[in-house]
Structure 1
Amino acid sequence: MSDTAFILQNCTKAIGGADSAIHLIEQKSRLEQAVSSNDPALTLDTAKSLLESIFKTILTDRQAEPNFSGTFSALYSEVRKEIILNNESAANEILKRLTSSIVHNVGELRNAYGAASHGDDGYYENPIQMPEAEMIAHIVDGMGGFLFRKHKNLSDPEQAQRIFYSDYAVFNDWLDSQNDPIEIPVNQAEDIPFSVFLFTYDVDTYRAMLLQYVQTEEEDAGVEVPEVTLVAEPETTEAELPLEKLTAEPDVDPVSEIAAALVINEEVGNAISDDDRVEIAEFAQDYALNRAGLDWQSRDSLIAKFRIQIKRTLIKKAFTEHCIDEAIEVVIEKAMKYFPSEVA
């Protein structure tokens, strides 16, 4: 037994919010326990099982009738159809070949040297030892965590086959603000929020109300801003300008400032081009002025919608993944500063 518990860091982080995915969490724990127990054959078995569970979870979330009857490699082929590994086509093809090779070889190793694949002679010695087995565990952890994060980031919740209550915090808050909680006629029993009750007992109605809510919010966000006639002010000489006008900074180009602010650190600066940052900034400007809604800055639901749109744009531009949340806040802050929603 190892003195230190083995933790699958990537998978743990990726499935951290999927508390109800009990089987997936159990599969991850089995692999961690196999490595901690110094059992190479069982490590190969549980490594393949964890990947297979991740594949099936992704397909069940995305497809109405997923087909699980094929081989391990065929299962991953279906996953590849659902998930874009990288938005740049050449990089996407390389990643597809790399991950397909991992799936093929993990399957072969498990079939040849796993504990549960077949029985062997009583004096058989497995050539796969813990250094090799632990390497496989790390590879599976990296690939499994990567795929699950891509799946959650790129999934369109409104069209998913399986939806999750925790994905719709803004809608849940709105639903609870419109409906009284459900009282339980039992002494000292706490009331159940209406959104929790509806999702638990009638998910189809919950989904229908969610889709209606999303449609309404999108329509509200698309309200055209009326044209405003500006009255020309009389020209003012420099001598008549107040002190703050004389000392103010020169006009700033909002797009350039947002693009510059997106260089959160050196890693991001090296990973994303200047042109891509400018396109992200131009998208934020267009969305804030034309699609976010007249009063988006004062409505939490519209700000949340703006955040989702920014996130999708950042993902599309292959923005450094662990910096995406910080980048979203940078864009929102700048948009509130430069693109006020109030009409003068």
Structure 2
Amino acid sequence: MEADARSFRLIACRELMASHPESLVISQQVEALEEALPDRPGVAVSFCRTLIETTCKTILIDRGQRPDDAWEAPKLIAETTKWLHLGIHDSGHTDPVLRSGAEKLLRGVNNIIDGVVEIRNAHGAAAHGSDAYAPMLDVRYAEIVARATDAVVGLLFKTHLNGSGKSVLARLRYGDHKDFNEWIDGDYGPFEVLETPLIASEALFRTDNSAYLAALSVFRQEQAAEAEADAAPVEIAQP
């Protein structure tokens, strides 16, 4: 069946879902939020804060941290951003203006979350004590909250993904370290089993994750050593 032309889609949230294809929690939250608009705005708003909190917890666990179940959105945001290196270019150079701007954006994230919570508590489908005949939340406000939520997820998760390529995360996804995969695939394979092509790096990741992780750690250590050697000053022999 073709998708409705009015179908509401959250781009950043879908990238999060694609990066965690085995997570039913994330996929259910994203799909439920999208499907709720425009006809069920209260349901959509109810999922916004939940999705932000799930994003933060996912990032923290990826980074080997254990979030406290009692932490709410503002605390989760604060703890998550400690592990995101803001204002750093691909070259490793830190841009102080970019860092300052990103930190201001994240402070704005907390304001967005406060607004999400306030609207959710007043108009969300799960709000307590609502009058049965109270007017439904205007769909325009529900869409604003949903778009803001998508922006928050995008800012946090994309920053997390961009940094993960330079460090070994506690929870790996195949594709996080493309340069390492290309290094393996350049030396091994491709293989074919029963007419099915197999990619060496993916086969190792799927069949022996511990061996993949160990090799990745060595690869990153060697890269760091080479970078340090290249950066060392060259001594010029005195005549």
TM tier relative to shorter chain: 0.7 to 0.9
* 1:71 alignment partner in structure 2: 72
Whose RCO is larger (CA < 8 A, sep 6+)?
A: 2
* 1:111 alignment partner in structure 2: 121
Task: Find the aligned partners of 1:164 and 1:97 in 2 and give their Cα distance.
Answer: 29
Displacement of 1:70 in angstroms is 1.8
> Pairwise mapping of residues 281-320 of structure 1 onto structure 2 (< 5 A)?
none
SS in 1 for 2:8: coil
1:151-191 C-alpha deviation (Å, 9 max, x unpaired): 2123354332222221223322332444467775xxx3625
* 1:200 alignment partner in structure 2: 206
* 2:160 alignment partner in structure 1: 151
Matched-pair contact (CA < 8 Å) for 1:157–1:163: no
1:4 aligns with 2:10: no
* 2:93 alignment partner in structure 1: none
Task: Find the aligned partners of 1:162 and 1:117 in 2 and give their Cα distance.
Answer: 35
1:103-129 C-alpha deviation (Å, 9 max, x unpaired): 1221222123211243644x3224521
The one of 73, 91, 98 aligned to 2:108? 98
1:7-44 C-alpha deviation (Å, 9 max, x unpaired): 223434x43751525432432222111114x2111011
1:200 maps to amino acid: R
Task: Find the aligned partners of 1:196 and 1:130 in 2 and give their Cα distance.
Answer: 44
* 1:35 alignment partner in structure 2: 37
Identity of aligned residues (%): 29
TM-score calculated relative to the size of structure 2: 0.76
Matched-pair contact (CA < 8 Å) for 2:168–2:216: no
Which blocks of at least 5 consecutive residues in structure 1 are unaligned?
225-286, 292-344
Which blocks of at least 5 consecutive residues in structure 2 are unaligned?
88-95, 235-239
1:125 maps to amino acid: A
Task: Find the aligned partners of 1:82 and 1:124 in 2 and give their Cα distance.
Answer: 45
- Cα RMSD for the two superposed structures: 3.2
Matched-pair contact (CA < 8 Å) for 1:43–1:133: yes
Matched-pair contact (CA < 8 Å) for 1:68–1:75: no
1:95 maps to amino acid: L
Task: Find the aligned partners of 2:13 and 2:146 in 1 and give their Cα distance.
Answer: 11
Matched-pair contact (CA < 8 Å) for 2:191–2:197: yes
Task: Find the aligned partners of 2:60 and 2:110 in 1 and give their Cα distance.
Answer: 16
Deviates more, 1:19-28 or 1:58-67: 19-28
* 1:163 alignment partner in structure 2: 172
1:70-91 C-alpha deviation (Å, 9 max, x unpaired): 2233222212322355543643
SS in 2 for 1:15: helix
* 2:150 alignment partner in structure 1: 141
